[in-house]
Amino acid sequence: EIEIPESHPRYQSLLTRHRIEAGVEKGITSKQGLIAQGRGEAFDYLIGERTTESAEQAERVAAAHLLLADSPVLSVNGNVAALVPGEIVELAKATGAEIEVNLFNRTEERMEAIAEHLREHGAEEVKGLTADGRIPGLDHERAKVDADGIGNADVVLVPLEDGDRAEALGEMDKTELVIDLNPMSRSAQVASVPIVDNVIRAVPNMTDHARDLAAEPNSTLEGIIEEFDPEAALSAAEDAIRSGDME
Q: Which residues are annotated as a binding site?
A: 17, 39, 180-182, 186-187, 198-199
Q: Tell me whether residue 247 is exposed, middle or buried, using C-beta atoms within 10 angstroms of its C-beta: 0 to 12, 13 to 18, 19 or more.
A: exposed
Give the nearest distance from C-beta 235 to ligand PTJ in angstroms.
17
Indicate whether 179 belongs to the interface with ligand PTJ (CB under 6 A): yes
Indicate whether 182 belongs to the interface with ligand PTJ (CB under 6 A): yes
Indicate whether 185 belongs to the interface with ligand PTJ (CB under 6 A): yes
* Single residue of 8, 10, 11, 39 touching ligand PTJ by CB under 6 A: 39
Report the largest interatomic distance among the alpha carbons of the chain, rounded to a whole angstrom.
Answer: 49
- Decide whether 105 or 216 has the Cβ nearer to ligand PTJ: 105
Show contacts with ligand PTJ in window 89-108 (CB under 6 A): 103-105
Stretch that binds ligand PTJ, among 46-54, 78-86, 136-144, 149-157 (CB under 6 A): 78-86
Show contacts with ligand PTJ in window 106-145 (CB under 6 A): none
- Decide whether 68 or 166 has the Cβ nearer to ligand PTJ: 166
Give the footprint of ligand PTJ on this chain (CB under 6 A). Answer: 30, 32-33, 36-37, 39-40, 43, 77-79, 83, 103-105, 160, 162, 179-182, 185, 198-199
